[in-house]
Amino acid sequence: MRIWADWLVRGRWLIIAGWALLAIAGGALGGTVYDHAQTVNQLSADAESLRAEARLQQLKPEGDTIFAIVPDVDPYDPALVATTTEVAQQLRELPGVQEVGDLYTSPGGQIGQGNRSTLVRVTFRPGASPDEVDAAVAVLRRLPNALVGGKPLAERAFADQAVADAALGEGVALAALALLLIVVLRWGAVAPLAAAAAAITTTLLGLAGLALLTPISEYTVNVVTLLGLGLAVDYSILLLWRYREESDLVAALRTAGRAVLVSGGVVAAALAGLAVFGEPLLAAMALGGLLVTVVATAASLTLTPALLVVLSGLILNGKRRPSDANGSRSTLQRLAAVAQKGPEAVAFATIVLLLILTLPFVAAALWNTDARGLPSGAEARQAYELYQRDFQRGRADAVTVVVDTGSGGAVMRDYLDRLNRLPGVGQLQVRLETPADATVIDLTPASPGQAATVVRAARGLEAPAKTLVGGPAAELVDYQDSVTSHFPVVLIVLLAAAGALLFALTRSLVIPVKAVLLTLLTLGASLGVLAAVFGGRLDATTPVLLFVFIFALTTDYEVFLLARITEEHRNGQSTEEAVRRGIARTGPVVTLAGLSLILVFLGFVLGGLTPVREIGVGMAVAIALDVTVVRGLLLPAAMSLLGRWNWWPGEKLNRRPGEKTEHGQKITSR
């Protein structure tokens, strides 16, 4: 560390200049990632629901569909009939349009509930270009007061809103964060803010290059901003605080720098596991998170120390001496004192509280975000909600069964009869105009809540030929099954990496296990509060992302506290005294880092996309619970109860030669 510190001191201006060039390049070129961002499938191509969709395209190729609803009108008003007929004819003449359905010029036209609205539907040929879609939208807008929606328009609105949310969230978060850090740290605020800006812009530059090789989701930018701000600020504040305390860069790097390296390793391992084993959408977001984690860790261990050296006169001038920490107790220190006075009662009460907070998530429904995930003022969402109300009338989307045999014969009739009698099926309809060698069946669930039951029942039914079950409900079932099968692998990778790194930090097997259990309690309580806030419905990707993010960021605080507690214990302090002193020294920095992250995440709650808001609320709640209930009460209570068992498998393994035991004896050999 002395060699590293000497190199940082000698090359400080070169390091600062290098990061400045990367930040400038990222600011100038990193924005191109928005141009290359695309909608990434939530599922891999081998999922049964996607194979069913591919088979349907083989049987009857067709592209995306958009629609226009004319609300609050008499559907048979002569002027409306004339305008709609003219618009339908113009649409049929456009390139890329395959089919147009309306009430007046084609069979199967629809009138909305209450006979006060009408629908025009446009189906495109496969591979229709965005310009061809835009041309059809322009024609549909000739209908009076029409709301235009559909999947391609909703996807475009999601992409645009993701960019807007990232800009808004980043702007608000940076402004609030800068104000907090300047008030608390004064000139010291330069280091964490510069590290965060450098980490984000450099990562965007890297993503712009990666986008040329692999799909980058529009949500990836939000992940980069969230994690980049959080990690870079956390790590830089820890280094800055220790540097102010020690007035020595070598000591700061040897202690806080080691903690940053361990924490960064845990976060990187978690995201790497998700990137390798997750589904395409999760993997794309995890890839961005992995990249920004590596960059933020590198910036914190190079740029931050270089800035600390350059600004040392301003940072160290008038700093509080370490002994002053005992004069005024931090919030975390006060909570720890309460926990150590009655560890049994505090541990029991906090665990019960966290489990109670988890309960709403147990009953929560997971869903694939549709147009309802857009802001309420978005036209694509308004059109979708009006369609669901007036034309879908609360019915669930159909579960589609594709059978590779014709619909005739006694065997097929028996199969159709058994499908119709499956639990949860409200209606069965065989599609017309299907090739003779296949049968396409739509099963409408009796209620939306029974859709998953219908999917699983149809897949479990013996069929006369090869059968694929698809549709929106089947996609959600496939996603949940995929997460269930892959999540244990991600969990094993994450726990193994976290356990190994925490063992390297503390040389204890008990502490890593306890750290994981505490994080799981934080995760469950956060998801429960989140489910309550969002009315019991969460995007299907949110719990997995939150698990990784919460595990990653709360591990920061675990590492920060444990590093200092372990350091005090190795200096001969008893476990309770080591906890007290460790929290006294680290409590203020953990509190400041926690407040900083809460501000960052609350900035993203202002966005318009429901999944992004869910992540923002979930992370803010998680950090608030972790910094107060978990690290302030449960951690010191648990360590007090475990006593010497915290350091199992033994004092000799937990101490280096020359370190003191709790009884003041020195270790002379391992």
Contact yes or no for 374/161 (Cβ under 8 A): yes
Q: What are phi and psi of 622, to 5 degrees?
A: -60, -45
Rounded Cα–Cα distance for residues 367 and 477 (Å) = 10
**pTM score of the predicted model:** 0.82
Residue type, 480: Q
Position 668 confidence tier, pLDDT thresholds 50, 70, 90: very low
Residue 354 pLDDT greater than 70, yes or no: yes
Position 54 confidence tier, pLDDT thresholds 50, 70, 90: very high
Position 650 confidence tier, pLDDT thresholds 50, 70, 90: low
Instruction: Name the one residue in this structure whose structure tokens are 């850090």.
Output: 181
Query: What is the Rg, in whole angstroms, of the alpha carbon atoms belonging to the chain?
Result: 29
What pLDDT score does 462 carry? 93
Give the single-character DSSP code of 215. -
Average pLDDT over residues 162-181: 83
Residue 580 pLDDT greater than 70, yes or no: yes
DSSP labels for 387-452?
A: HIIIIITTPPPPEEEEESS-S-SHHHHHHHHHHHTSTTEEEEEEPSS--TT-EEEEEEESSGGGHH
- The mean of the pLDDT values for the chain is 86
Q: CB atoms < 10 A from the CB of 435, how many?
A: 11
Contact yes or no for 67/119 (Cβ under 8 A): yes
* Tens digits of residue pLDDT in 587-602: 888 888 888 888 888 8
Reported in sequence order, the residue ranges of 142-259 that DSSP labels E, i.e. its strands, are 147-150
Residue 514 pLDDT greater than 60, yes or no: yes
What pLDDT score does 56 carry? 93
Nearest by Cα to 113 from 424, 392, 447:
392
What pLDDT score does 638 carry? 92
What pLDDT score does 143 carry? 94
Average pLDDT over residues 357-375: 89
Residue 325 pLDDT greater than 70, yes or no: no
* Tens digits of residue pLDDT in 552-567: 777 777 788 888 888 8
Rounded Cα–Cα distance for residues 483 and 176 (Å) = 36
Residue 13 pLDDT greater than 90, yes or no: yes
Using alpha carbons, list the distances in angstroms from residue 114 to 72, 77, 118, 327, 650: 10, 15, 11, 72, 76
Tokens of 322: 């370490």
Instruction: Name the one residue in this structure whose structure tokens are 């090869």.
Output: 466
Rounded Cα–Cα distance for residues 235 and 227 (Å) = 12
Position 409 confidence tier, pLDDT thresholds 50, 70, 90: confident
Q: What are phi and psi of 660, to 5 degrees?
A: -90, 145
Nearest by Cα to 307 from 194, 436, 144, 409:
194
Domain spans of the chain, in order of start? 2-37+156-317+332-368+477-654, 398-470
What pLDDT score does 124 carry? 94
The angle, 0 to 180 degrees and rounded to 10, between the axes of the packed helices 542-570 and 635-642 is 50
What pLDDT score does 329 carry? 66
What pLDDT score does 278 carry? 72
Contact yes or no for 33/208 (Cβ under 8 A): yes
Average pLDDT over residues 491-507: 80
Residue 656 pLDDT greater than 80, yes or no: no
Position 108 confidence tier, pLDDT thresholds 50, 70, 90: low
Contact yes or no for 101/136 (Cβ under 8 A): no
Domain 398-470, what fold? Alpha-Beta Plaits (3.30.70)
Residue 39 pLDDT greater than 70, yes or no: yes
Give the single-character DSSP code of 143. S
Average pLDDT over residues 348-356: 96
Position 92 confidence tier, pLDDT thresholds 50, 70, 90: very high
Nearest by Cα to 49 from 464, 458, 472, 483:
472
Domain 2-37+156-317+332-368+477-654 has CATH 1.10.1040.10: no
SS (HEC) of 567-623: HHHHECCCHHHHHHHHHHHHHHHHHHHHHHHHHHHHHHHCCCCHHHHHHHHHHHHHH
Q: What percent of the chain has pLDDT over 70?
A: 95
* Tens digits of residue pLDDT in 467-488: 999 999 999 999 888 888 887 8
What pLDDT score does 328 carry? 52
| Low-confidence winner among 32-36, 125-129, 161-165, 233-237 (lowest mean pLDDT) | 32-36
